[in-house]
Chain A
Amino acid sequence: MKKVKVLILRTAGTNCDYETQFAFELCKAVVERVHISSLVERKDRISKYDILVFPGGFSYGDDIASGKILANEIKNKLGDEIKKFALDNKPIIGICNGFQVLVKMGLLPEPDVFRQSSTLSYNDSGKFECRWVYLKTCKKNDSESNCIWTKNLPDIISLPIAHGEGKFIPSNKKLLSTLNKNEQVVFKYSTKNGDIPQYPLIPNGSIEQIAGMCNAKGNVFGLMPHPERYIFSLQHPAKKGFNKKYGWGKVIFQNAVDFVK
Chain B
Amino acid sequence: MFEIEVLTKKDFKNPQNEHILSDIASMGIASIAKVRYSPLYFICGKIRFSDVKIIASELLIDKITESYVIRRCSDLDVKDVNLKMNSSASIIEVWYKKGITDTVAESVVKAVKDLNINVEVKIKVGHKYYLYSKESQTTLNNNPIKSVIELIATKLLANTLVQDCKIR
Using a CB–CB cutoff of 8 Å, the interface residues on chain A facing chain B are 60-61, 63-65, 68-69, 72-73, 76-77, 104, 116-119, 121-126, 169-171
Contact = CB atoms under 8 A, between A and B. Distances in A.
Given A64-B60, A121-B12, A123-B15, A73 B65 contact: no
B103 A122 contact: no
A82 B19 CA distance: 39
Contact of B114 (A72, A116, A121): A72
Contacts of A119: 62-65
Nearest to B116: A76
Closest 3 CB pairs of A and B: A126-B15, A63-B107, A119-B64
A170 B16 CA distance: 21
Contacts of A117: 64
Nearest to B58: A72
Given A122-B16, A124-B15, A126-B19, A63 B114 contact: no
B111 interface: yes
B64 A171 contact: yes
B59 interface: yes
Given A72-B111, A73-B111, A65 B62 contact: yes
Contacts of A124: 15
Given A63-B108, A69-B59, 9 more contacts: A60-B110, A64-B104, A64-B108, A68-B111, A69-B114, A122-B14, A122-B15, A125-B15, A126-B19
Interface in B54-106: 58-60, 62-65, 103-104
B115 interface: yes
A61 B19 CA distance: 22
A123 B60 CA distance: 19
Nearest to A13: B107
Residue among B19, B62, B114 having the largest count of chain A Cβ atoms under 10 Å:
B62
B18 A126 contact: yes
Interface of A is mostly: mixed
Contacts of B104: 61, 63-64
Contacts of B59: 64, 68-69, 72
B118 to A, nearest CB: 12
A73 B114 contact: yes
Contacts of B18: 126
A142 to B, nearest CB: 31
A121 B65 contact: yes
A76 B110 CA distance: 13
A170 B62 CA distance: 12
Contacts of A72: 58-59, 111, 114-115
B58 A121 contact: no
A18 to B, nearest CB: 24
A118 B111 CA distance: 21
Contacts of A122: 14-16
Contacts of B64: 116-119, 121, 169-171
Contacts of B103: 61, 63
Nearest to B22: A126
A126 B16 contact: yes
Nearest to A122: B15
A210 to B, nearest CB: 14
B128 to A, nearest CB: 16
A47 B15 CA distance: 41
A50 B100 CA distance: 45
